[in-house]
């Protein structure tokens, strides 16, 4: 058995039954694959938009440091970068000529991945390549905690809270 697939001024194009069956099956598999891919994309997007139902969050504030040592030429111009798990929360303000700075900045994160690590990096703002003064990494725990972390070039102090957001 053959089926006319299309016709043109040059004649008809005939396709045998096994070939037609293969082409139709291939089309159905391709459509099913596309539907599955789109379905997975929608599920992944929903998971990112609403990762958790409990509205918990992480807040980092009260950042200060002592005895920061920059390059040999001047007092350091320090700033802090903050991460919670894979999420970059931002960078603090740069405080000029401060070996013992107190930053006014606050960082807030949604708790998308429970029990992630909080990471703070302290840097000296130098023309060209900034100087890395040290990194702190701690696994967080529920509640409010004040932390002290010894760096390669000084000490950093900060407070974090890990808990729930209540809205009334």
pLDDT of residue 53 exceeding 80, the answer is no
Residue with tokens 């701690």: 138
Identify the pLDDT of residue 80: 98
| CA pair distance 146, 37, nearest whole angstrom | 46
Beta bridge partners of 82: 90, 120
The pLDDT of 88-101, averaged and rounded, is 96
130 CB burial (10 A radius; 0-12, 13-18, 19+): middle
The pLDDT of 85-112, averaged and rounded, is 94
Higher-confidence position of 113 and 81: 81
Identify the pLDDT of residue 113: 76
Identify the pLDDT of residue 114: 74
pLDDT of residue 3 exceeding 60, the answer is no
Residue with tokens 């010894």: 150
CA angle 123, 129, 132 (to 5 degrees): 25
Rounded to the nearest integer, the mean pLDDT of the chain is: 80
Per the structure block, which two tokens stand in for 122? 């302290």
| CA pair distance 58, 144, nearest whole angstrom | 10
Identify the pLDDT of residue 111: 78
pLDDT of residue 20 exceeding 50, the answer is yes
Identify the pLDDT of residue 128: 85
Which residues are within 8 A (CB) of 37 and not within 5 positions of it... i.e. 6 or more apart? none
- 65 in Cβ contact with 122 (< 8 Å): yes
- 62 in Cβ contact with 161 (< 8 Å): no
Least confident residue range of 35-49, 50-64, 113-127, 143-157: 35-49
Q: pLDDT tens digits for 84-93?
A: 999 999 999 9
| CA pair distance 17, 27, nearest whole angstrom | 15
């Amino acid at each position: 058995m053959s089926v006319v697939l299309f016709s043109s001024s040059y004649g008809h194009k005939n396709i045998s039954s096994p070939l037609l069956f293969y082409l139709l099956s291939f089309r159905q598999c391709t459509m099913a694959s596309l539907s599955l891919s789109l379905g997975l994309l929608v599920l992944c997007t929903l998971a990112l938009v609403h990762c958790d139902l409990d509205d918990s969050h992480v807040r980092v504030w009260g950042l200060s440091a002592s005895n920061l040592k920059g390059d040999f030429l001047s007092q350091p111009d320090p700033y802090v970068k903050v991460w919670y798990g894979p999420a970059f929360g931002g960078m603090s303000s740069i405080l000029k000529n401060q070996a013992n700075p107190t930053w006014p900045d606050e960082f807030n994160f949604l708790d998308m991945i429970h029990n992630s690590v909080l990471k703070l990096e302290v840097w000296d703002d130098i023309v060209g390549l900034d100087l890395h003064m040290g990194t702190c990494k701690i696994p967080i725990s529920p509640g409010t905690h004040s932390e002290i972390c010894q760096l390669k070039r000084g000490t950093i102090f900060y407070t974090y809270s890990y808990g729930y957001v209540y809205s009334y």
